Every structure is written in C-alpha cells, then in structure tokens.
C-alpha cells in the first residue's frame, strides 16, 4: 500500500509487513528484492534465466514468478534448470498480474518470505537476491515498494520504437530500463538512437541498458547493475 | 484389504413391508446394538435390541466379526417419527452392520418433521463397518437425519451414506442430514447436507448441478496418520457423475460422489477402493 | 464501532489475496455450469447457502470472541478436501498480514504465532473484524459478500460477462445475504452454551469435488 508523504508522518509505516523492513527477524540483512516487469514477450523470463546463470555461482538466488496462466514461467525456468526447483516459486494471479505486484502484494510477500525461511539454512547460505518476475502485462504495471527494493522494466525494440517516447510508469520510473533484442532493430526498422533519446527525456539520469539478452554475454550490463544494487543494499543503513 | 461392495445377500431375510397402522404414527423407537470381543477373539453381540420398524438380524459370520443386518419392517421414517439406532463396538471388537433394503422417508398423515438419529461408538482397537443402503426421500417427506460417531484413538471405521432425492421420476422431499465424527475427543468431520423444498440454493451448479444422488464413504484408520490416502479424482466410466477421494485433516479418507442415480453413486464409491491394511 | 471499518474490510481491494481466487467459478465455467448472469446467480446462491454460511458462522464466532484455534479446527472438520483447506489457510495468512497492518491487536498476533502458515481465512477475518471494533454481524456480512462477489468478479473475467449484469446479480442476492448472516450470527451466539458444534456445517458436494479437480489443472487463470 502506498502512502502519501504527509500521511507517513501521521501514520508511520509498520515496517514489519512489507519490503520496507530490511532485516530478517534474527537481525541480519535480508535478501535484496528486485522486480522485473514489462510487456508480454519483451524477454522478462529470458532476462531472469540469464541473470540466474550469470550470478548463481557468486550469489544465493531465488525467483518468484507471477504468471497469467499459473505456472508457465516457473516451469520454463525449471526446464531450463537455471536454479534448483526449491528456489523457484510461482504465484497465481487470477488473470490480473499487475494486481499481484502492485495493489495486493500479499501472495508475493508470502512467497518471498517462504523462500527466505526455507533457504536461509540450506546449501549456499542465506539468500542474497530474490528476483520477482511479473506476468506479461501492460506499460502501466509497476511493482509496489512494499514488495521490491528495486525494479527493472524490460521492453524490446520489436515491440515498437515509440514505447520510450510514450512513457508510462514502467518506462519512466523503473530503476533500470532494459531495451532488449537490439539485434532485431535492423529487421523491424527500429531507431535505437531515437529510443535512447526518448528514454533519456523520460527518465533523466535513471539508467537504460540496450542489450540482446539471448546473445553471448547479453545480460552482462543487467547483471552488473544488479551487483551494484546488491552492494548498495548490503552497505545500506540500519 | 480393499473395500469391496458389501454383501447384499441378506436381502432374503427382509420381512415384507407392512402398512403402518394408524396407531404407529408419531412413533418413537430406539434400536441398540453392542458388540464385545470374547476371549476367543471372536466378537459377540450381548445387545441386539430391535425396536418398532428397526428390526435387527444377526447374520452368520465366517470370520471373527459380529454381523448385523438392519431390517426395515415397516416403511419409515414417516412424518413425526423419532427413530434412533445406537451401535457400540467395545474394545477390540469387530462389528459389521448392513441393511436389507433402502430406507424410504415418506410424508406423514400429518405434516411434521421426522427424525432419524444414528449414534455410533467405537472403542480402542475396535472396528465398525456401518454400511446401510441408501436413504430415499420421497416427495413430500421431511426428514432430519443425524449420524454421530465417536471414535477412540485406535478405532477404525468404514461408514457409507447415500442419499437419493426422490423415487424415480418424482420430486424430492426435504432432507437435512448431519454427519459428525469425533475422534479422540476432536471433531474429525462435521458436514451437513440439505436438499429439497424450502432449502435455498440446493439445486444449483455449486451443490448438485441436477444430480439426484449423493454419496460418501468414510474410512478412518490410525495408520493413515503415517501414510495419508492420496487425492484421487474419479469419473464414472459412462460419464454419469463425479467423485473425489480426499484425505481429511486427520487419519481418514473420504469419498464424495454425486451422480444422477443411486446405482451410479454406488459404482463411484466402490471404484474408490480405498486401501486399508485390514 | 465504526461502520466505515466494515467498508474497508469488505472492499474487494482490501489487499488480502482474494483477487486470485474464483470461489469455484472457474471450474463451473469450464464444466458449462455457468454460462450467463442467470447461471452465475444460481451458482452464487448455492455457494452462499453452503460454504458461505459455514464461513459466516466461523467469522461471526471469531468476531464474538470464541477461541480462534478451536474455530480453526472446526473449519478443518468442515472442509473435507485438501485443496480447499490449503486455499483457506493461504488466504488466511494473507488476510492476517493485511489485518495486522490495518488493525493491529494482540489477538491477531497470538493467532499468527500459533498458526504461522495461516489459519482458515474466515477465522482470521472474524478476528480482524473484532480488532477493528466490528460486531459478529459485520464479520458475517463481509464473509457472505466475498462469497458471492468473488465468483461474480471472476466470471466477468472468464466469460467477459457484462459487468453491469454481474453487479445486478449481487444486488438480487441481497436478501439471501441478509438471511445467511442472520442464520450465521444466531448460530454463533449458541457457541458459548452449546459448543462449536452449534456452528453451521452445510456442505456443497460439487464445490468440494470440483475444487479438488481444479487444483490439478495444469493451466488455469485462478488459484481456486
């Protein structure tokens, strides 16, 4: 639930029940939670899979998927064996994936907390990173700050090079905008420079990563950004 | 063992249905059955008291179990009747109860709800099979049935309930049936079904979707504590009716079936073939 | 007591996870049993007078101060299929999170500690109502409304049913809702004297059977 600033003063957040609480009950700092949103087919699941492959040797990772049709994305990740099954949880969203990541985050919070609980003592030590993937939805879908600490919005050049210009909460406010499938730009007639210009206009100093996730090392800029966020999170106050 | 369809062989012992005399209206009757384990290991029946329309027959037994058949000597329950059967399986005993024919709930000469209460008690180490024939609610009938089961911690139970809503081609009467099973002082299952005129929502897609027969088969066995019966979805081979086998929140398995008629419900319950170690 | 608190609790946007559940409607749509507003209404009426009555009784009793752990056991005994027990506990845990953030109370904390994986949702809802200063009747109203509005909302999505028709269905069920609330509250009032067995236990065989079938579907829009 998002509260306005003046309300914050009158009704301080109860940190126990949302992502805002940065510590586990035992006082250690909990895993950083990063959301990945974006339209259908832009490459969210591919990005999650690539991030897991790039980071799983250095970090303890878990994934929560939010599918439209229940377990499809979770099953893709399981088939690709990017993580052991106990590190992947599917949340069912009742045909409304954006509701589950923004308006009513209770099922996702259960999922991330269960992962923290069950994996904290297992092989690989306490979790460092939880990736929460939204179901493919629309350009307005963003994650609640009660659920994730940072969010990545994934779009692709084939979905139309006017998406950055059109803006919308995902494009405008995500902590990282990933513009995927740059290798397709010549074939679909997308103007990468124009997209960069529009993104800059919409996002100011917020970063944008142009990449082709499925190419060799294509996920590197995203993985580097995640490492920076984790370092920032681990060094954070309290 | 695997639960096989119960023997219907006892049907030949049924007395012909008699027309209730006028004086039998608003009848009250309690029949009692008690089994105890004799030192030999076989179970005996020190109490076998039929009452009113509830006649009881001792059946020959080829094993150590005590076998009883409930014989409906009259058409009952009728509006206003208060019928009750109590059956107790003492420590270590083995009691199997069947019925000779279906129970037919009929309208009374005067309007009024009939009651049919069944109270079962199974002691430690004992086993009770309670396998009556279906209850049929004739048009215009009005019956409240309760089945209350008290199980000791190591007791075992097989209980079947089938309800048929109306005779062939007939509207159903009104039926409210509550099944409460307590085990070791805790309620294991508490369910009430209510169908017929005046019961809101009973004939809807959420409840029966046009089906006219409902059945349940409950098996309680402490062994399920270690190894619960897995969930199974059952479909009738001819598509008439559906059922599911589910573990309860306790050492018990329940089959719930709905179907167009009594025969289809019985087939589904039999198909459940719940595995027991007996 | 604040009547507005009831609106907060009963609001479909109350963040307690209900939006992902169809209350059996997805299975009924697939079976061809819900096809339009009329069949939706019949389905809702059936669910209301069975599962809805049971849930309303539990919630009213919890709101009235009955032991929530005993009520949780009673809910188990009234829920013979594991698919529905799992859903009830999952939703109960989600309701608990929302309730503790909204109307914190030691009673909610105690139930959360005793049932960390979730108590049955109607019990948690009843206790949430109690924490909000609401009466048993209010808790029962919140439950029965959710019992019918959940399937109605889901059917709008599943069948692209006209949302005005779906809302009219809810309006036509209003007197049924009143009746079920009255029955549930009356039963809950008997609990202190007669024990928890006084609570309704009305079952709907097809809701049980189809819930268990639905839980095994590989592809579905709703969690239940």
CB of C169 closer than 8 Å to CB of C15: no
B190 falls within a domain: yes
Structure tokens at C154: 């889901």
As a whole-number percent, the residues of chain C with pLDDT over 90 amount to 96
What is residue B188's predicted lDDT score, i.e. its pLDDT? 98
What is residue A67's predicted lDDT score, i.e. its pLDDT? 80
Neighbours of chain C (3+ CB pairs under 8 A): A, B
Domain that holds residue B106: 27-219
- B239/C contact by beta carbon, under 8 A: no
Number of domain units in chain B: 1
In order of start, what are the domains of chain C with their CATH numbers? Answer: 3-10+17-215 (1.10.4190.10)
pLDDT at residue A81 above 90?
A: no
Which residues of chain A are within 8 Å of residue C157 when distances are taken between CB atoms? 94-96
Structure tokens at B109: 């000469």
Which residues of chain B are within 8 Å of residue C82 when distances are taken between CB atoms? 231, 246-247
As a whole-number percent, the residues of chain B with pLDDT over 90 amount to 74
Cβ neighbours of residue B20 closer than 8 Å, sequence gap 6 or more = B27, B53, B74, B75, B76, B78
Residue A194 C-alpha, separation from nearest chain C C-alpha, in angstroms: 38
| Cβ within 8 Å, pair A70-C220 | yes
What is residue B75's predicted lDDT score, i.e. its pLDDT? 63
B22 falls within a domain: no
> For chain C, how many residues are written?
224
What is residue B226's predicted lDDT score, i.e. its pLDDT? 94
C-alpha–C-alpha distance, residues A233 and A227, integer Å: 10
Per-chain mean pLDDT for chain A? 86
Residue A213 C-alpha, separation from nearest chain C C-alpha, in angstroms: 27
B237 falls within a domain: no
B229 falls within a domain: no
B142 falls within a domain: yes
pLDDT band for A40, please (50, 70, 90 cuts): confident
Please report how many Cα atoms fall inside a 13 Å half-sphere around the Cα of residue A73, on the Cβ side. Answer: 31
What is residue A12's predicted lDDT score, i.e. its pLDDT? 38
B259 falls within a domain: no
pLDDT at residue C95 above 50?
A: yes
Q: What are phi and psi of B268, to 5 degrees?
A: -65, -45
The alpha carbon torsion through C30, C36, C37, C38 (nearest 10 deg) reads -90
pLDDT band for A1, please (50, 70, 90 cuts): very low
CB of A187 closer than 8 Å to CB of A218: no
Is the pair C, B in contact (3+ CB pairs within 8 Å)?
yes
Average pLDDT rounded to a whole number, residues A131-145? 86
> Within 10 A of B40 (CB to CB), how many other CB atoms are there?
8
- Chain C positions touching chain B (beta carbons under 8 Å): 24, 28, 31, 33-34, 39, 42-51, 73-74, 76-83, 85, 176, 179, 196-197, 200-210, 212-213, 216
Instruction: Please write down the long-range contacts of C37-40, taking CB distance under 8 Å and 24 or more positions apart.
Output: C37/C161, C37/C162, C37/C165, C37/C166, C37/C168, C37/C169, C39/B205, C40/C151, C40/C152, C40/C155, C40/C161, C40/C166, C40/C169
Is the pair A, B in contact (3+ CB pairs within 8 Å)?
no
CB of B68 closer than 8 Å to CB of B58: yes
B192 falls within a domain: yes
Provide the angle, in degrees to the nearest 10, between the axes of the packed helices C37-47 and C163-172.
40
A107: left (phi over 0), alpha (psi -120 to 50) or beta: alpha
Angle at alpha carbon of residue B74, lines to B71 and B80, rounded to 5° = 120
What is the per-residue pLDDT across A217-236, written as a single tens digit (0 to 9) for each?
A: 999 999 999 999 999 998 87
In order of start, what are the domains of chain A with their CATH numbers? Answer: 26-234 (3.40.50.300)
B262 falls within a domain: no
What is residue B73's predicted lDDT score, i.e. its pLDDT? 58
pLDDT band for A11, please (50, 70, 90 cuts): very low
Spatial CA neighbour of C34 closest among C142, C164, C165: C165
Which residues of chain C are within 8 Å of residue B164 when distances are taken between CB atoms? none
What is residue A19's predicted lDDT score, i.e. its pLDDT? 56
> Within 10 A of A170 (CB to CB), how many other CB atoms are there?
25
pLDDT band for A78, please (50, 70, 90 cuts): confident
C-alpha–C-alpha distance, residues B181 and B198, integer Å: 27
Residue numbers in chain B where pLDDT is lower than 50: 1-24
């Amino acid at each position: 639930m998002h509260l306005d600033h003046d309300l914050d003063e009158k009704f301080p957040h109860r940190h126990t029940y949302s992502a805002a609480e940065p510590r586990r009950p035992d006082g250690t700092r909990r895993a950083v939670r990063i959301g990945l949103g974006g339209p259908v087919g832009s490459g969210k699941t591919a990005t999650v899979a690539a991030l897991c492959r790039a980071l799983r040797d250095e970090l303890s990772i878990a994934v929560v998927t939010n599918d439209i049709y229940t377990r499809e994305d979770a099953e893709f990740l399981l088939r690709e064996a990017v993580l052991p099954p106990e590190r992947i949880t599917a949340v069912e969203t009742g045909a409304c994936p954006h509701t589950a990541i923004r308006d009513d985050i209770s099922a996702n919070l259960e999922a991330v907390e269960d992962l923290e609980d069950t994996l904290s003592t297992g092989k690989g030590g306490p979790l460092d990173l939880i990736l929460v993937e939204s179901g493919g939805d629309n350009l307005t879908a963003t994650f609640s700050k009660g659920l994730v600490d940072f969010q990545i919005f994934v779009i692709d050049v084939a979905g139309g090079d006017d998406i950055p210009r059109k803006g919308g909460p995902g494009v405008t406010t995500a902590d990282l905008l990933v513009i995927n499938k740059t290798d397709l730009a010549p074939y679909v007639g997308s103007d990468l420079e124009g997209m960069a210009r529009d993104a800059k206009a919409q996002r100011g100093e917020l970063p944008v990563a142009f990449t082709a996730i499925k190419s060799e090392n294509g996920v590197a800029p995203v993985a580097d950004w995640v490492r920076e966020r984790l370092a920032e999170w681990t060094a954070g106050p309290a | 063992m695997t639960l096989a369809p119960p023997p219907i062989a006892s049907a030949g012992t049924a007395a012909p249905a008699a027309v209730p005399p006028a004086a039998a209206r608003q009848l009250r009757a309690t029949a009692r059955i008690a089994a105890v384990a004799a030192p030999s290991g076989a179970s005996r029946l020190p109490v076998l008291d039929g009452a009113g329309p509830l006649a009881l027959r001792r059946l020959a037994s080829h094993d150590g179990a005590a076998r009883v058949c409930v014989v409906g000597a009259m058409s009952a329950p009728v509006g206003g009747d208060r019928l009750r059967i109590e059956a107790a399986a003492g420590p270590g005993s083995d009691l199997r109860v069947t019925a000779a024919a279906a129970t037919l709930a009929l309208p009374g000469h005067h309007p009024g709800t009939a009651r049919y209460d069944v109270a079962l008690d199974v002691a430690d180490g004992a086993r009770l099979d309670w396998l009556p024939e279906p209850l049929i609610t004739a048009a215009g009938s009005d019956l409240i049935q309760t089945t209350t089961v008290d199980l000791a911690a190591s007791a075992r139970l097989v209980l079947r309930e089938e309800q048929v809503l109306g005779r062939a081609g007939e509207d159903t009467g009104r039926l409210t049936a509550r099944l409460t099973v307590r085990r070791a002082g805790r309620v294991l299952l508490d369910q009430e079904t209510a169908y017929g005129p005046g019961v809101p929502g009973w004939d809807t897609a959420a409840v029966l979707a046009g089906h006219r027969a409902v059945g349940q088969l409950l098996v309680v066995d402490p062994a399920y504590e270690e190894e619960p019966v897995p969930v199974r979805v059952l479909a009738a081979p001819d598509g008439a009716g559906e059922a599911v086998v589910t573990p309860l929140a306790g050492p018990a398995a329940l089959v719930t079936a709905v179907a167009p008629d009594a025969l289809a419900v019985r087939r589904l319950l039999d198909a459940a073939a719940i595995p027991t170690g007996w | 007591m604040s009547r507005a608190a009831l609106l907060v609790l009963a609001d479909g946007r109350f963040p307690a996870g209900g939006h992902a559940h169809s209350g059996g409607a997805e299975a009924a749509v697939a079976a061809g049993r819900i096809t339009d507003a009329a069949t939706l209404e019949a389905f809702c009426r059936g669910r209301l007078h069975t599962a809805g009555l049971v849930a309303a009784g539990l919630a009213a009793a919890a709101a009235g101060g009955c032991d929530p752990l005993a009520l949780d056991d009673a809910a188990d005994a009234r829920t013979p299929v594991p698919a529905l027990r799992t859903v009830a506990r999952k939703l109960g845990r989600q309701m608990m999170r929302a309730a503790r953030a909204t109307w914190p109370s030691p009673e909610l904390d105690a139930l959360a500690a005793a049932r960390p994986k979730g108590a049955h949702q109607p019990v948690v809802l009843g206790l949430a109502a109690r924490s909000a200063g609401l009466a048993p009747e209010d808790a029962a109203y919140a439950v029965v409304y959710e019992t019918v509005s959940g399937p109605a909302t889901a059917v709008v999505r599943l069948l692209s049913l006209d949302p005005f028709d779906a809302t009219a269905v809810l309006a036509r069920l209003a007197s049924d809702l009143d009746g079920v609330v009255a029955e549930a509250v009356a039963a809950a009032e008997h609990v202190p004297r007669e024990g928890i067995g006084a609570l309704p236990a009305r079952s709907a065989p097809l809701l049980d059977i189809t819930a268990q079938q639905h839980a095994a579907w590989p592809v579905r829009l709703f969690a239940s």
